[in-house]
Chain A
Amino acid sequence: MTRTLDDIDLTDRVLHSTEDLSEFWRDLRHTKPVHWHQPADGGTGFWVLTAYEHISAVYRDTKHFTSERGNVMDALRAGGDSAAKRMLSLTDGRRHTDVRSILMKTFSKRGVEQVGERIRGITRGLVEQALERGTCDFAMDVAAPIPLMAICDLLGVPEEDRWRIFDLTSSMVASETPEHTQKDAWRNKNEVLFYFANMAEGRRVEPRDDIVSLLTGAQISGSGLTEDEIIFNCYSLILGGGETTRMSIGGAVVALVQHPDQWRALKNGDVSVDSAVEEVLRWTTPSMHMARTAVADVEIGGSSIRAGDIVTLWNVSANRDEKAFELPDAFNLARSPNKHVTLGGGSHFCLGAHLARLEINSVLTSLRDLVSEIEPVGEPRRIYSNFLGGVCHVPVALR
């Protein structure tokens, strides 16, 4: 069934995982690329941008748009994010540049190479184990541990706490069941913040070589980061670093199973792993949307956006825009150029981009080198969310 503008509610967390919206997005791109959406719940309405051109322009337009009230639909519609101005992604201007340059030490291309050997080793080990067992849930057995181990290594979270943190964070932005209680989400977020608040207290007294110590020891024009900034940034790194990459890795395997010619191209070395990583990022688009608030009146594509309006940027649509990509609905690992918006753009461009690429690269490399055949042994299961999109269970047999 093709959905139309009138009967769709983009805030519905179940909609995105149970329906294929590609027709709907194409329709919007062609007929109303800048569309005012009034959700069924009667709450705050917002703009829905679906064209690549407009979306990449808004990412770069810091004059008319701010991230300081929130950067996802739900938080903005609820009146603003409680972490506003205290988390890198929710800070603009000078402070954003200063905090970003502190973290850049760890997340630059050279910085992440420090954990490169370890991540590649872990990935190889996980794929070997899956091969030995014959069948596995690729999403849980391989896709989940890699980003978790990587970001926990960097943050300094000890091995014994990692899976508890995973359980808490994985149910925070998305869930594996359609029912999702507000209390559970609040409780889990609270536990994670509490964990890092305690950890930061410890690192103040006894610094180590990790990001938490980097943040507690950092100075910006003579003064340290506030307690809030430290805790919220740790929280954002564990969420941003774990959940999104897990979706891309799981989704990569689903796509390779569905496109045997592309799997062969990867296997035979007809395409480079680097180029395959970019297509996996475009194809899976884990951050389905990002959002901004207009701070001044501005016109986009003939529509007048007013100061104060919420503007949502649908990456899932931009990445399939026929004006930006040749045959956008083809999964083509050799695609070039491939300027997808999966990692955002402009000043808030994903801080973890090099790490995410390294992680996905390690998986594709291990699959290419160790696996000869991937066969589905069950239906993949998608998560329920209106922000994060992807698969949480991918049953396959590896040979």
Chain B
Amino acid sequence: MTQTLDIERELCGHAAVGEAAVTVDGDRVVAFVVPAGGGLSLRELRAELGTEPDEFVVLTALPLAEDGQPDWAELSRSRKDLTRRRMPYTAPRTDTERYLAALWEDLIGVEDIGADDDFFTLGGHSLLAVRIRMRLQRDHGVTVAPEALFENSVLSEQAAVVDRTREA
């Protein structure tokens, strides 16, 4: 238990984290975090933590129970919901797929994005799609049409669109 408290304390003190609640489920330490407002890269967060949880769940708000403590039942539901929306993990295969997987992980706040994961199913929305377009423009010099991202929401499809646009 002191381990979860330590992680929680460290998370709450981190500039990029607004709120955090940490718990143990079976043999896994799960950290629920609400970003402070700007971007929150779980990769960077891991690199800066003394003790890391096994799993992160990023939320827009921390649900509270009547007594003002975190609502653990609701948190567990959010976590299950997220797991349900994931596809079985297929490692990204090309450079573009690996680039996009890392980008999605940072933007959506979900770890271990695979080639079969779906942008919308994982909670991707317009502004995140805008971020993807901005980064592709900056890092790869390609301007992808928004409808192409809408129609190709699976990571491997999206990577194919980026490759095709770059070649065109």
Contact = CB atoms under 8 A, between A and B. Distances in A.
Contact of A228 (B127, B129, B146): B127
Contact of A82 (B38, B125, B149): B125
A84 B123 CA distance: 14
A187 B147 contact: yes
B133 to A, nearest CB: 6
Interface residues of A, number: 21
A186 B60 contact: no
B146 A186 contact: yes
Interface in B57-99: 60
**A contact patch SS:** helix
Contacts of A190: 126, 129-130, 133, 146, 149-150
B50 interface: no
B84 to A, nearest CB: 15
Interface in B3-61: 37-39, 60
Contacts of A183: 147, 150-151
A191 B150 CA distance: 12
Given A84-B60, A226-B37, A187 B127 contact: no
Interface string A313-324: 000000000000
B146 A83 contact: no
Nearest to A183: B150
Interface stretch (A123-131, A142-150, A192-200): A192-200
A231 B150 contact: no
Nearest to B149: A190
A186 B150 contact: yes
Nearest to B15: A223
Contacts of A201: 134
A87 B131 CA distance: 17
Interface in B115-139: 125-127, 129-131, 133-134
Contacts of A231: 127, 130
B134 A82 contact: no
Contacts of B131: 197
Contacts of A194: 130, 133-134, 146
B126 A189 contact: yes
Contact of B127 (A83, A85, A191): A83
Contacts of A84: 60
Nearest to B124: A82
Interface string A230-247: 011000000000000000
A227 interface: yes
A297 to B, nearest CB: 13
Nearest to B125: A82
B130 A193 contact: yes
Given A83-B127, A183-B150, A186-B150, 12 more contacts: A84-B60, A85-B60, A186-B146, A186-B147, A187-B145, A187-B150, A191-B146, A193-B126, A193-B127, A193-B130, A226-B38, A227-B38
